[in-house]
Amino acid sequence: MIHIDLTDQPIAIAVALRSVEADGAGAINTFIGTVRNQSTGRAVIRLEYEAYDSMALHQLRKVAEQAVEKWPMLQKVTVVHRKGTLYIGDVAVVVAVSTPHRAESFAACQYIIDTLKQVVTIWKKEFYQDGDVWVAAHP
């Protein structure tokens, strides 16, 4: 009921959505994170995602398990994160959840992506025309 993946291949959104289908679910909620063309006013050319794979997978599973504890009615949870080089519009992360009713599906999906961004060991470097920056590295 929890599916976690970290991949250097393009994320198949339809596959992720199908993976949370459940007969007891009246709601499927999805967050799709994509690469934006600018960051604090600087034009972004590409991103490079680096992961500490074993810890990232472990922490992603823990986040999903915490969501199931908070919302026991969760039917299925899928989180897929991309790594490697991504360009504008590419999909970096997909979170998909299914629940009996819609309210919990929004809440659980938001909890998972918000917590992922705080604890999961993945790092993003933004590349501009005139340089590059590790996102959030410095105050």
Partner 1 sequence: MRLNIALFGVAREIVGQSSLEIETAAGQSAQGLLAELHARYPALANLSSLAVAVNNEYAADDTPLHERDEIALIPPVSGG
Residue ranges that bind partner 1, judged by CB under 8 A: 33, 49-52, 54-56, 58-59, 81, 92-93, 113, 116-125, 134-139
22 vs 66, beta carbon nearer partner 1: 66
Cβ-based nearer residue to partner 1, 44 or 120: 120
Q: Give whichever of 29 and 59 is closer to partner 1, judged by the CB atom.
A: 59
Smallest gap, in angstroms, from Cβ of residue 72 to partner 1? 24
At position 99, the amino acid (one-letter code) is: T
Neighbours of 100 (CB within 10 A): 15
Interstrand relation of 76-82 and 2-7 (parallel, antiparallel or unpaired): parallel
Q: Closest approach of Cβ 125 to partner 1, in Å?
A: 8
Give the nearer residue to partner 1 in terms of CB position, either 23 or 130: 130
Let me know: does 81 contact 120? Beta carbons within 8 Å. Answer: yes
Burial label, 69 (beta-carbon count in 10 A; 0-12, 13-18, 19+): exposed
> Which residues, in sequence order, are bridge partners of residue 5?
80
| Minimum distance of partner 1 from residue 61's CB (angstroms) | 10
3-state secondary structure of 59: helix
